[in-house]
Amino acid sequence: MVPYVKKNFILVLTIVLFSFVVSSSYANFSMMVTKDEIDTICTKESIDSSICYELLKPISKFATFDFSDLVKFLIKYQSRNVSDAMNQIKLSAGNATDLQTIDLCVELYEDALHDSDLSLKALADKKYFDVINKIIGLDTVISTCTDELVQMKPRLEVLIKRSNVIRKIPSIIFYILQCYLAKEKTKC
Ligand SMILES: *[C@@H]1O[C@H](CO)[C@@H](O)[C@H](O)[C@H]1NC(C)=O
Ligand SMILES: *[C@@H]1O[C@H](CO)[C@@H](O)[C@H](O)[C@H]1NC(C)=O
Ligand SMILES: *[C@@H]1O[C@H](CO)[C@@H](O)[C@H](O)[C@H]1NC(C)=O
């Protein structure tokens, strides 16, 4: 099995985390999300623009969303996707030759759902550092499953594609946390 930790991802996130340690906890919750801000978010280099717009465009119609609501929405959306992917993995078991991979992925996706719940709780408590940590955990377990799935025969293409889409969501969440909810807007 591949190592649980994705080194380059962790490295990048360590930088993000550092700025969080320094800057979290003075957020301005009265700030509503504007269409311009959604444009700013979705055109960032680190973010997949088409997925970002697909997720956030409908939001610009709800004037009552602040950035915390937005993060909550994204975490819940991602969680539903994880849950759907897990169900699909379970259904694939009937066709698969490699039940070990299937079992591993089901277990990993259960972990991801647990992390997702914890991240929502941390968000409600305004513990943004913890939110980041849980989302990193979630992303790591999903990528671990994907690494196993790509080696499995027959390849479950739909599932691989799906998990690659799910993995585009954390960078949007990180950007909003870092640039709108943290006190000091570093690297934005
Ligand atoms: C919070 O946001 C409101 C509305 O945009 C703004 O008027 C206020 O100055 C902000 N407060 C801080 C502390 O940034
Ligand atoms: C994620 O969930 C949303 C809403 O439930 C759904 O419309 C979308 O197709 C899902 N995407 C993936 C990649 O599962
Ligand atoms: C299992 O394989 C059959 C035949 O290739 C296919 O029609 C079916 O959709 C597959 N089921 C799942 C859950 O992947």
Residue 96 φ/ψ, nearest 5 degrees:
-80, 150
Sign of the torsion formed by the C-alpha atoms of 104, 105, 106 and 109: positive
Ligand 3 pocket test: pick from 95, 98, 149, 161 the residue with the most ligand atoms within 8 Å of its Cβ: 95
Burial label for 45, CB within 10 Å (0-12, 13-18, 19+), is exposed
Number of the ligand closest to the Cα of 163 = 2
Ligand 2, atom 4, lies closest to the CA of: 77
Q: How confident is the model at residue 97 (pLDDT cuts 50, 70, 90)?
A: confident
- Ligand 1: atom nearest CA of 28 is 1
pLDDT digit string (tens) for 105-120?
999 999 999 999 999 9
pTM comes to 0.77
Q: pLDDT tens digits for 32-60?
A: 888 889 999 999 999 999 999 999 988 76
Task: Kindly give the number of the ligand 3 atom that is closest to the alpha carbon of 91.
Answer: 13
CA of 158 to the centre of ligand 3 (A): 11
| Residue nearest atom 7 in ligand 3 by C-alpha distance | 95
Contact (Cβ atoms closer than 8 angstroms) between residue 55 and residue 171: no
Which residue intervals of 30-185 are DSSP H helices? 35-42, 49-56, 67-92, 99-124, 128-149, 157-166, 169-176
Nearest-CA residue for ligand 2 atom 8 is 81
